[in-house]
A = this chain, B = another copy of it.
């Protein structure tokens, strides 16, 4: 009976984890940091997640996939929770994040170029005189 009630009105943490593809401990972590609301509990203390809880988790996971930090997600959620958020505010958060992603890409590409260059200079031979080591030992020459 209790089992029936649960299966109709909510799921436990393990089941939510399985459905969302998220580690069960991570769900608890998101709860302690306040991204997820404290869910209902059974008499014995087990968490019961409603459909709303599940979509909120999906929102968080999707945002994480897009590289938003926990703090950025907190901002997004609090805008939505307040109810009177404007599209412009959300847009600002998103383009800000986009900028930092683009910066990260630029940094990595510079890095990639340098690695390719010093790796290309290497004859892969058996003698220990390695241009990669030289490059690493030398002064900044990116």
When distances are taken between beta carbons in the complex, the residues of chain B under 8 Å from A129 are 87
User: A45 within 8 Å of B by Cβ?
Assistant: no
- Copies of this subunit: 2
Q: Interface 1/0s, chain A 97-138, versus B by CB < 8 A?
A: 110011011001101101110110011111111111101111
User: A11 within 8 Å of B by Cβ?
Assistant: no
In the complex, how many residues of chain A place their beta carbon closer than 8 angstroms to a beta carbon of chain B?
54
Do A87 and B124 have beta carbons less than 8 Å apart? yes
Beta-carbon contacts under 8 Å, A33-47 to B: none
User: A63 within 8 Å of B by Cβ?
Assistant: yes
Question: A101 and B112 in contact (CB under 8 A), knowing A86-B127, A127-B87, A128-B84?
Answer: yes
Do B124 and A91 have beta carbons less than 8 Å apart? yes
Do B101 and A115 have beta carbons less than 8 Å apart? yes
Question: A128 and B86 in contact (CB under 8 A), knowing A101-B108, A142-B65?
Answer: yes
CA distance A102 to B131 in the complex (A): 22
User: A28 within 8 Å of B by Cβ?
Assistant: no
CA distance A128 to B88 in the complex (A): 9
Question: A105 and B101 in contact (CB under 8 A), knowing A62-B140, A91-B124, A136-B59?
Answer: no
A-B contact pairs, 7 of them (CB 8 A): A67-B115, A80-B133, A86-B125, A88-B125, A91-B119, A91-B130, A94-B119
